[in-house]
Amino acid sequence: MCGTCGCGESDVRVEGQRGGGEHAAGTGHPHAHEPLAGVVEIETALLAKNQHLADHNRAWLAARGIVALNLMSSPGSGKTSLLCRTISAVAPSRPVAVVEGDQETRLDAERIRATGAPVVQINTGAGCHLDADMLARGLSELNPAEGSLVFVENVGNLVCPALFDLGEATRVVVVSVTEGEDKPLKYPAMFAVADVVVINKIDLLPYVDVRLAELTAHCRSVNPGVRVLPLSVTTGEGIAAWCDWLLTSEPVST
């Protein structure tokens, strides 16, 4: 069991196309099983072990010039649709690969595969987030090309993914205008760790009781330095600015 949220991990499954390379980021179950004194000790041990694996991932990615982006959001924000549109725009300029996280099904991975991008599906079963060990296993299966952009689509959840460093270069939180203006205030930990907030579905602003300026202000009230990129996957408005930012992203130096 996960000491942070209580989710199980015994049925995690990693499925995809093997690239032929071995990922050196390490393996092993990231949850501590030794008897510990209490919840705080369990959580501390869990996060410490995850951080160690995340640091290995970060070094492995940096050595290959790969930029990994952790996409986090609540379910239904449009992460997969954003990825599909992004891949078609960015892939001619830079290799793109995807690690797709969901509790069950391969549905989103099949959508990504239809774009032509390499993809690995990680099904977490009862787990509500990806962790550094799962990403290490996914990268081993994916074997992304040097210099790639690797998108990690996390499980839809605005709580636990904020706690788990994967070794990514950038954390992107996707929020749709249909979720309301108050999401950054209700889930401040998630928005506080974001490097970028993508506000999706702005084409629906005339039909919802949401003010874009107010939503942006709430994002910056919990994270003053965050970059906010409003866009619409449906109409394409704002996609160019998003892709321009992606193509200038650099690996984390170690």
Domain ranges of the chain: 33-247
Max distance between CA atoms of the chain, in angstroms, equals 55
Say yes or no to pLDDT of 42 above 90. no
Over residues 171-215, the pLDDT tens digits come to: 999 999 999 999 999 999 999 999 999 999 999 999 999 999 999
Residues 6+ apart with CB under 8 A from 212: 177, 199, 202, 205, 230
- Domain 33-247: CATH superfamily is P-loop containing nucleotide triphosphate hydrolases (3.40.50.300)
pLDDT band, residue 165 (cuts 50/70/90): very high
Over residues 76-89, the pLDDT tens digits come to: 999 999 999 999 99
Cβ(51)–Cβ(168) below 8 Å: no
The pair of structure tokens assigned to 29 is: 């179950």
Compute CA distances 41 → 35, 37, 45, whole Å: 10, 6, 6
Say yes or no to pLDDT of 10 above 50. yes
The pair of structure tokens assigned to 2 is: 């996960």
Residue with tokens 């977490």: 124
Output the pLDDT for position 40.
Answer: 55
pLDDT band, residue 243 (cuts 50/70/90): very high
Q: Quickly count: other Cβ atoms within 10 Å of residue 215's Cβ.
A: 23
Residue with tokens 């130096």: 253
- State phi, psi for 220 to the nearest 5 degrees: -80, -15
Over residues 134-160, the pLDDT tens digits come to: 999 999 999 999 999 999 999 999 999
- State phi, psi for 30 to the nearest 5 degrees: -85, -5
Over residues 70-124, the pLDDT tens digits come to: 999 999 999 999 999 999 999 999 999 999 999 999 999 999 999 999 999 999 9
User: Which carries the bigger pLDDT value, residue 1 or residue 102?
Assistant: 102
CA atoms within 13 A on the CB side of 60: 26
Amino acid at 105: T
User: Which carries the bigger pLDDT value, residue 5 or residue 115?
Assistant: 115
- In three-state secondary structure terms, 159 is coil
- In three-state secondary structure terms, 142 is helix
